[in-house]
A and B are shown apart, each in its own frame.
Chain A
Amino acid sequence: GEDVEQSLFLSVREGDSSVINCTYTDSSSTYLYWYKQEPGAGLQLLTYIFSNMDMKQDQRLTVLLNKKDKHLSLRIADTQTGDSAIYFCAERGGGADGLTFGKGTHLIIQP
């Protein structure tokens, strides 16, 4: 079945840029998403990209998609302590059986 892989942890200094990477296997993916989860909370949709796009920018967030390599990244500019959370990559496949999520990347902010 479809699979989404992410690194488990990323540590960055406050003020630096964070880049969270994700790879997926479903070549028929239509949309790819980034969600943020803070402790004890549900998932917050940060941004999404259609599979025929290669970049999307939204304020401090930049999403890059390399469809050939099935690689998605999320760049957070000027990382702040409030960005500390778990970030999930998710894809909607051509079969559209819900979203397939990665295991999440814990973003740790160093002062």
Chain B
Amino acid sequence: DAGVTQSPTHLIKTRGQQVTLRCSPKSGHDTVSWYQQALGQGPQFIFQYYEEEERQRGNFPDRFSGHQFPNYSSELNVNALLLGDSALYLCASSFFLQGSGEKLLFGSGTQLSVL
């Protein structure tokens, strides 16, 4: 089992451009969450997708959008890139078991640099 896979691993964009990051969840997981980790900071929650719909959203502008496909894979799209969007973007998959806690399995991330 490959676990959570993200692509690409590294990406360089310029201000104003748009970017799409991709994530394939662990086999058997049905929920995908996206986090942004700036240098020296902890990850910050962007949003979560379940059954192809955005279920929860953190404090991020509408420039950040996503999608979940029927096979549970997911995309994160960021429009009108700003220098401050430079960060490691982490995808996490999970299968929520009531009473057992939601155990997030993280991928290795996509390092986005905006110049």
- The interface on chain B, measured as residues whose beta carbon lies within 8 A of the other chain's beta carbons, has a size of 27
B104: chain A residues at CB < 8 Å are 43, 45, 99
Q: Which residue of A lies closest to B3 (CB)?
A: A42
Give Cα distance in the complex from A4 to B57, angstroms.
19
Closest to A32 in B: B101
Stretch at the interface among B14-22, B34-42, B69-77, B79-87: B34-42
A58 at interface (Cβ–Cβ under 8 A)?
A: no
- B24 interface hit (Cβ, 8 Å): no
Task: Please judge, given known A-B contacts A88-B42, A97-B45, whether A42 and B103 are in contact too, CB under 8 Å.
Answer: no
Contact with A along B91-115 (1 / 0, CB 8 A): 0100000000111111111000000
Inter-chain CA distance A95–B65, complex, in Å, is 21
The stretch of A12-20, A65-73, A101-109 in contact with B is A101-109
Chain A residues within 8 Å of chain B by Cβ, number: 26
Question: Which of A35, A42, A50 is the one whose CB lies under 8 Å from B101?
Answer: A50
Of A40, A48, A88, A98, the contact of B45 (CB 8 Å cutoff): A98
Given A97-B45, A98-B56, the answer on whether A41 and B108 have CB atoms closer than 8 Å is: yes
